[in-house]
A and B are shown apart, each in its own frame.
Chain A
Amino acid sequence: MVRDDDPIADLIGRVAAADRAAFRALYHAASAKLFGTCLRILKDRGEAEDAVQEVFTRVWLNARRYDAAKARGMTWLIAIARNHAIDRLRARPATSAADDTAADFPDRSPGPEAQVLARSEARRIADCFDTLDPARAGAIRGAYLGGLSYEDLSRRHDVPLNTMRSWLRRGLMKLKECLEA
């Protein structure tokens, strides 16, 4: 894939060479998005701050593993942030049922990134989401953005956990088939 305009990827490449100025520039370019990501999943500012600190530590230590041919820079950063935030969330001691507090952290309407993101790619994924039945597309989207577990989802939709799991798996598979068609 051609990455002719990915300043974040360039910065990660410089961070891989232990360039502290590039690290700082990367922080200024990406920290709001990554904080928003961690906050949406963890729903706790203090914990989201700790998560972002850990995420940037990993970025500094692992920047050499980033391959610009495999993912856009921001995609790679958000994957690190989501993985860490979700791991934190799952490691929390079991508490009362997760509230649906998504309203506190509203979705953002498509912004500049969607425009910068290679348009054909984004368009195709959006089109494929549209081929899923709306409930399944909504569940995938909610799970992805909010870090919901199968347990959360089965409670929310009031279906057995394994039913929810195979239902979502089928949605993911359809999505993949559509993208590869």
Chain B
Amino acid sequence: MSEPGDHMPDREALAAEYVLGTLPHAERLRAEALIAEDAGFRTLVEDWQNRLAALNDGYAEVPPPPELLGRIEGRLFPEPERPRSRGWLWGALAGFAAVVLVTLFVSSILPPSGPPTITATLTGEGQPLMIAATYDPAMSELTVERTAGPAAEAGKDYELWIIPAGQAAISLGVVGEGEAVVPLADLPAGSTLAITLEAAGGSPTGVAQGPLLVAAVIGDG
């Protein structure tokens, strides 16, 4: 006695049985290895998936528990661990970090008795703007000045921020023409100095709203 299936080639049968799902585990793994490396076999499997797809209508729709999407997204798109209250500037810096140049120099121009002055240059990739920053711990003063790039466009201002490591950004005011000197009690290593473009006079909310332009991370002296 002979029925058509007796002559089904082994590869074809394996593809059909893989899709049907009846194979034992070891043979399924063998079929999956073939799918990965053998385009001809992969096509056989795809053909069988389409042939048997009409049966898919037999699967009922059952809503999964509501929290499942969050679990999946949490696994695929892990958020950096930081409170949201720190504002968007942290998020911007996270993407910015790769291009922030750590440009810290500890100068020895002061008399050896005082703590060292910290200087940094705030830069950004593809960004003509450069801001020089000098912090004098003895005077508790941060001095910043635009050293390259255009002035802020009409109706806008550059706003300076300090972002202590792991904390929210704090506005240090706007940077206009010439040197701007702001009182600053401390500039610890790990802090970030950043400039955003804000409405004239600076962000009215005290939270950065405009684009992040240039930044520098203060390194260890």
B interface footprint on A159-181 (CB within 8 Å = 1, 0 otherwise): 00000011011111111110100
A76, B72: Cα distance in complex, Å: 19
A interface footprint on B38-59 (CB within 8 Å = 1, 0 otherwise): 0000000010011111111111
Once the chains bind, are A53 and B20 in contact (CB under 8 Å)? no
Q: A145 contacts the other chain (Cβ, under 8 Å)?
A: yes
Q: B76 contacts the other chain (Cβ, under 8 Å)?
A: yes
Size band of the A side of the interface?
A: 35 or more
Once the chains bind, are A170 and B21 in contact (CB under 8 Å)? no
Main SS class of interface, B: helix
Residues of A within 8 A of B76 (CB): 23, 56-57, 60
- Taking Cβ atoms with an 8 Å cutoff, the residues of A that contact B are 20, 23-24, 27, 31-33, 35-37, 39-41, 48-49, 52-53, 56-57, 60, 70-72, 74-76, 78-79, 82-83, 86-87, 90-91, 105-108, 110-111, 113-114, 117, 121-122, 125-126, 129, 140-141, 143-145, 147-151, 153, 165-166, 168-177, 179
We find that the number of chain B residues with CB closer than 8 angstroms to chain A is: 44
Once the chains bind, are A39 and B21 in contact (CB under 8 Å)? no
Residues of B within 8 A of A173 (CB): 3-5, 7-8, 16
A117, B56: Cα distance in complex, Å: 11
- Find A105's partner among B32, B60, B64 (CB 8 Å cutoff): B60
Once the chains bind, are A78 and B56 in contact (CB under 8 Å)? yes
Task: Give the Cβ gap from B9 to chain A, nearest Cβ, in Å.
Answer: 10
- Taking Cβ atoms with an 8 Å cutoff, the residues of B that contact A are 3-8, 13, 16-17, 19-25, 28, 32, 46, 49-65, 68-69, 71-73, 75-77
Residues of A within 8 A of B19 (CB): 79, 144
Once the chains bind, are A143 and B25 in contact (CB under 8 Å)? no
Once the chains bind, are B64 and A35 in contact (CB under 8 Å)? yes
Residues of A within 8 A of B25 (CB): 87, 90-91
Residues of A within 8 A of B65 (CB): 49
A151, B59: Cα distance in complex, Å: 22
Smallest Cβ-Cβ distance to B2: which chain A residue = A170
- Find B61's partner among A32, A141, A168 (CB 8 Å cutoff): A32
* 25 cross-chain CB contacts under 8 A: A32-B62, A32-B64, A40-B59, A49-B65, A52-B72, A53-B68, A53-B72, A70-B50, A71-B50, A71-B53, A78-B53, A82-B21, A122-B54, A144-B21, A149-B21, A150-B22, A150-B24, A151-B24, A165-B17, A169-B8, A170-B5, A172-B5, A172-B20, A173-B5, A177-B4
